[in-house]
Amino acid sequence: MNYKVNEQGFYGDFGGSFIPEMLYPNVEELRQNYLNYIEDPEFQAEFQQLLKDYVGRPTPLYFAERLSAKYNTKIYLKREDLCHTGAHKINNTIGQILMAKRLGKTRIIAETGAGQHGVATATVCALMGLECIVYMGEVDIERQAPNVARMKMLGAEVRPATSGSKTLKDATNEAIRDWINNPVDTYYIIGSVVGPHPYPDMVARFQSVISAEMKQQLQEKENRSNPDYVIACVGGGSNAAGAFYHFLDEKVQLIAVEAAGKGVHSGESAATSALGKIGIIHGSKTLLMQTEDGQITEPYSISAGLDYPGVGPLHAHLFASKRAEFIAITDEEAMTAGLHLCKTEGIIPAIETAHALAVLDQKQFNPNDIVIINLSGRGDKDLNTYINYFDF
């Protein structure tokens, strides 16, 4: 089985580039250039330098001793929560801002739901001194005031999307409209392994630094470069893609964790692999939560970052080919696991990440197994949700 994208942008049956004609020149320009730039030694040197000095990489691979004792297995945490801005998203935005510069673009646009990708984009635009416009649903702007403030402080303009449900999907439509209208000077930074080819492959390559470091760090600590398991949460799937990337062709069990919300069949869920059917979202053919007549279903999860009705095409392929095991975790299971990590290891995880941690309560591992959990982000942004949930 092949888990890399093919010439046409497909992972098995999933992926491709299903875009309006008007968008074709922009996407084609990127497709023709992205591999040349990524593989260019000068590009790599600049990328690696920024990951080191600005993001703070390599992030530690931390042996969680007390957590390991509790579950009677060897658990390592890959500390993406220690990245600048608090999560893995910055790995991707650094890569894409360098791509934009190489392509001679001067104006950056992005869409954001909870605001995390908007903040990561505004951050790299400030770093490079480029104009930044972030589209965000009007409802999300109200719900996510601190991230709106962060983006403004970083010099970005936040433009409200006022159509439809006024959330992520509508913000994405606005961003695409903007890109169609500004094809020459504008670059669109997408925040996960979603969108038309080449975005899923490009974003996976930028995030693959996570598993490259895991391999090297595990070799130093355990004298072997492959763990038995890698576990990561999946919204669009970028942190999981990065954590799985260098293990796709290895004998390593991959576990992708989705948000079951209030229960997979409760009607309030974001468990795309369990509920999704093949459809097209954001220019890509993938698994998608939709009604009988193909309308996208509004997803729900307590964690804003997993609250996405689709999944990137790589993950649809990993699911369909059974290369990865998909587990859905409820709000309650995630919140409990998140709080448990706080008390056991002194680390407050993002609620997205807490879903990955909850797998420890669902699945039995052997004492000698090496289990790496990708700690995608820190919980500072989720403090209010923790406070309200546990009544602190």
Ligand X SMILES: *Cc1c(COP(=O)(O)O)cnc(C)c1O
* Closest approach of ligand X to the CB of residue 145, in Å: 17
Which span (227-235, 264-272, 279-287, 336-344) binds ligand X, by CB under 6 A?
227-235
Residue closer to ligand X, measured from CB, 17 or 112: 112
**CA distance linking residue 210 with residue 344, whole number of Å:** 24
* Closest approach of ligand X to the CB of residue 91, in Å: 10
Query: What is the footprint of ligand X within residues 110-139 (CB under 6 A)?
Result: 116
**Is residue 89 a contact residue for ligand X (CB under 6 A)?**
yes
* Closest approach of ligand X to the CB of residue 193, in Å: 6
Q: For residue 127, how far is the Cα from the chain centroid? A: 21
SS3 109: strand
- Give the HSE-up count for residue 148: Cα atoms under 13 Å, Cβ half-sphere: 15
Of 344, 345, 337, give the one whose Cα is nearest residue 390: 337
**CA distance linking residue 136 with residue 159, whole number of Å:** 6
Cβ atoms of 383 and 390 within 8 Å: the answer is no
Of the residues 80, 111, 213, 352, which is catalytic? 111
Of the residues 74, 78, 89, 285, which is catalytic? 89
Residue closer to ligand X, measured from CB, 74 or 237: 237
SS3 388: helix
**Is residue 350 a contact residue for ligand X (CB under 6 A)?**
yes
Residue 104 CB burial class (10 angstroms; 0-12, 13-18, ≥19) = exposed
Q: What is the DSSP letter of 201?
A: H
* Closest approach of ligand X to the CB of residue 171, in Å: 14
**Is residue 377 a contact residue for ligand X (CB under 6 A)?**
yes
Which span (69-77, 128-136, 155-163, 234-242) binds ligand X, by CB under 6 A?
234-242
**Is residue 202 a contact residue for ligand X (CB under 6 A)?**
no
Whether 376 is catalytic: yes
Query: What is the footprint of ligand X within residues 155-194 (CB under 6 A)?
Result: 192
**Is residue 261 a contact residue for ligand X (CB under 6 A)?**
no
Instruction: Give me the residue label for tokens 């369990």.
Output: 274
SS3 232: strand
**Is residue 330 a contact residue for ligand X (CB under 6 A)?**
no
Residue 95 CB burial class (10 angstroms; 0-12, 13-18, ≥19) = buried
**Is residue 233 a contact residue for ligand X (CB under 6 A)?**
yes
Whether 101 is catalytic: no
* Closest approach of ligand X to the CB of residue 25, in Å: 27
* Closest approach of ligand X to the CB of residue 201, in Å: 14
Query: What is the footprint of ligand X within residues 25-54 (CB under 6 A)?
Result: none
SS3 46: helix
Q: For residue 215, how far is the Cα from the chain centroid? A: 20
**Is residue 353 a contact residue for ligand X (CB under 6 A)?**
yes
| Size of the residue set binding ligand X (CB under 6 A) | 19
**Is residue 236 a contact residue for ligand X (CB under 6 A)?**
yes
Q: How many CB atoms lie within 10 A of CB 55?
A: 21
Residue closer to ligand X, measured from CB, 102 or 379: 379
Of the residues 192, 238, 284, 376, which is catalytic? 376
**Is residue 305 a contact residue for ligand X (CB under 6 A)?**
yes
* Closest approach of ligand X to the CB of residue 113, in Å: 8
Structure tokens at 256: 């992708």
Which span (5-13, 159-167, 231-239, 327-335) binds ligand X, by CB under 6 A?
231-239
User: Please, which residues have CB within 8 angstroms of residue 292's CB and are 6 or more apart in sequence?
Assistant: none
Of 211, 10, 11, 2, give the one whose Cα is nearest residue 91: 211
Cβ atoms of 213 and 243 within 8 Å: the answer is no
Phi, psi of 325 (to 5 degrees): -90, 135
Residue closer to ligand X, measured from CB, 121 or 192: 192
**Is residue 345 a contact residue for ligand X (CB under 6 A)?**
no
Residue closer to ligand X, measured from CB, 102 or 135: 135
Q: In the beta sheet, which residues pair with residue 78? A: 61, 374
**CA distance linking residue 334 with residue 353, whole number of Å:** 8
Please report, as ranges, the residues that interact with ligand X according to CB under 6 A. 87, 89, 116, 192, 233-240, 305-306, 350, 352-353, 376-377
Question: Residues with catalytic annotation?
Answer: 89, 111, 376
